[in-house]
């Protein structure tokens, strides 16, 4: 069956390429019995230097892309969202989709947290904004799996060769991800400077300069051998079943994580977001866990943090939607290592055509930047001892109809060879304590530490 499928797909692509009026053609076929992580693994062996993985919190939508036949990339700060949206609209006119699915063509990518901050070398390949159209896309939606192959119609690109290699592997046994290597060093990235920054931020807030600011720190791990992104992804899938799983790899550097936080989703005229701010660790036993959850619900500092986010997203949705729905009080979102205050928001009658416009309006929320936004960003640039790159920034997908879903890229790490750089941040308000905030960042690093095999889950 695999050989017949491969020949059938190749014939369809060649036939379409000959008769196409546009530079790219795609063909979509139903394709069952394939594991998304195993598909992700095939990228390097087929010659693809780019790959991505996306799974929503329910697991109902899983997207895995190999290669890049079309890329939209910008380093501009003032116009990056406009530039990327213009590129998305150009892509609509560049591709002719065919096959068994009526799903629109899809682009995946992300943005940097702060385009005005000079980029560090570790983030090479992750510009201010980037979207890619994959050569091969595995899509799982509502229990149905499809494979979409996209190629240039001139047949001169190497994507034809790489896709052919991938198709030859269809149906063949797929190897398990490599074992994670041994940890050889664990370096704190400027702990004392970070604590000093927190103290300075608290003083500024108490003096009335701003209400809240989020400060992040990093931790650099080195391993005996190269870290296999597929192995980390597999462990994240097992250990963080209710998170957004994402991976975006460019030339051997892979930004990967398991985020609990939706930034925004758009489906037609409906849009959704989740306000997520305020957190505490999970308890070792049910009684302790419930006590910690009750404390979180009642804690003034965490509720103040949360309300900043609720107010901002509520105002924004009200400005672009006919109606906005949200519960009167936050809920608890319980994840394996941490629990959060959580308020879901639904907007109906959305007037924006593209989810990218909503991403632009919302980033960064007070949960990742602070409030007032502009003042908080100034403080982050002045005090934070790292370049966030794509950490705490939007990552997700958009289709040719402007629909899509974007998460906030937290609980994440940048893999590069035998190193992994982990990131975590926390919201600083007037009642913050520097040592408590530092411990909160340790809790937030736990999912990635566990996925990297550095600590036991739980």
Report the C-alpha gap between 274 and 263 in whole angstroms. Answer: 7
Contact 147, 28 (CB under 8 A): yes
CB 429 within 8 A of CB 303: no
Report the C-alpha gap between 318 and 442 in whole angstroms. 36
- Give the Cα-Cα-Cα angle 99, 104, 108 (nearest 5 degrees): 120
∠ CA 280-235-111, nearest 5°, is 70
DSSP 3-state of 85: helix
On whether the CB atoms of residues 247 and 256 are closer than 8 A, the answer is yes
Q: Is 121 helix (H, G, I), strand (E, B) or coil?
A: helix
Task: Count Cβ atoms within 10 A of the Cβ of residue 212 and give its class: 0-12 exposed, 13-18 middle, 19 or more buried.
Answer: buried
Q: How far apart are the first and last CA of the chain?
A: 43
Spatial distance between the Cα atoms of 204 and 325, rounded to a whole number of angstroms: 34
Q: How many CA atoms lie within 13 A of 204 on its CB side?
A: 23
- Give me the half-sphere count of Cα atoms (radius 13 Å) on the Cβ side of residue 259: 31
Marked catalytic residue, from 85, 96, 130, 212: 212
CB atoms within 10 A of CB 89: 12
Quick check: 343 and 326 in contact, CB under 8 A? yes
Calpha distance 272→265 (Å, rounded): 5
Residue showing tokens 């080195």: 222
* Residue 444 annotated among the catalytic residues of the structure: no
Query: Which 3-state string (H, E, C) describes 394-439?
Result: EEEEEECCCCEEEEECCCEEEEECCEEEEEEEEEECCCCCHHHHHH
Question: Diameter of the chain by CA atoms?
Answer: 71
Closest CA to 272 of 74, 56, 426, 87: 56
- Bond preceding residue 364 cis, omega within 30 of 0: yes
To the query of whether residue 334 is one of the catalytic residues in this protein, the response is no
Task: Tell me whether strands 270-281 and 262-267 are parallel, antiparallel or unpaired.
Answer: antiparallel
Report cis status (omega within 30 of 0) of the bond before 246: no
Output the CA torsion 176→177→179→181 (10° steps).
160
From the candidates 50, 96, 249, 261, give the one annotated as an active-site residue.
261
Catalytic residue numbers? 212, 261
């Amino acid at each position: 069956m695999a050989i017949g499928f491969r020949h059938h797909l190749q014939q369809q692509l060649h036939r379409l390429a000959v008769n196409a009026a546009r530079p790219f053609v795609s063909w979509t076929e139903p394709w069952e019995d394939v594991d998304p992580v195993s598909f992700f693994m095939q990228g390097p062996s087929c010659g693809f230097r780019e790959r991505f993985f996306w799974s929503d919190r329910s697991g109902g939508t899983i997207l895995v892309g190999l290669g890049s036949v079309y890329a939209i990339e910008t380093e501009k700060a003032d116009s990056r969202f406009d530039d990327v949206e213009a590129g998305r609209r150009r892509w609509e006119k560049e591709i002719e989709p065919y096959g068994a699915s009526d799903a629109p063509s899809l682009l995946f990518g992300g943005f940097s947290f702060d385009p005005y901050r000079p980029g560090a070398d570790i983030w090479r390949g992750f510009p201010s904004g980037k979207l890619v159209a994959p050569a091969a896309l595995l899509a799982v939606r509502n229990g149905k799996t499809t494979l979409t192959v996209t190629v240039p119609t001139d047949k001169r690109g190497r994507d034809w060769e790489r896709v052919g290699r991938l198709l030859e592997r269809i149906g063949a046994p797929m190897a398990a991800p490599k074992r994670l290597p041994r940890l050889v060093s664990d370096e704190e990235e400027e702990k004392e400077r970070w604590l000093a920054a927190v103290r300075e931020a608290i003083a500024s807030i108490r003096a009335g300069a701003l209400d809240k600011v989020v400060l992040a720190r990093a931790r650099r791990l080195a391993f005996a051998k190269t870290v296999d992104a597929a192995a980390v992804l597999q462990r994240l899938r097992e250990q963080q079943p209710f998170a957004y799983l994402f991976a975006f790899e460019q030339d051997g550097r892979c930004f990967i994580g398991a985020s609990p936080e939706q930034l925004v989703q758009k489906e037609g005229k409906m849009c959704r977001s989740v306000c997520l701010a305020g957190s505490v660790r999970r308890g070792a036993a049910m009684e302790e866990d419930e006590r910690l959850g009750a404390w979180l619900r009642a804690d003034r500092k965490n509720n103040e943090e949360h309300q900043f986010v609720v107010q901002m997203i509520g105002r924004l949705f009200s400005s672009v939607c006919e109606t906005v729905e949200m519960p009167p009080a936050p809920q608890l979102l319980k994840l394996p290592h941490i629990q959060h205050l959580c308020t879901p928001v639904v907007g109906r009658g959305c007037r924006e055509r593209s989810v990218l416009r909503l991403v632009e309006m919302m980033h960064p929320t007070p949960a990742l930047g602070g409030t007032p936004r502009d003042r908080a960003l100034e403080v982050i640039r002045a005090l934070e001892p790292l370049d966030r790159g794509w950490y705490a920034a939007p990552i997700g997908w958009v289709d040719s109809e402007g629909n899509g879903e974007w998460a906030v890229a937290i609980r994440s790490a940048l893999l590069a060879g035998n190193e992994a750089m982990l990131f975590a941040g926390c919201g600083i308000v007037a009642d913050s304590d520097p040592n408590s905030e530092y411990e909160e960042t340790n809790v937030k690093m736990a999912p990635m530490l566990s996925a990297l095999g550095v600590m036991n889950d739980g």
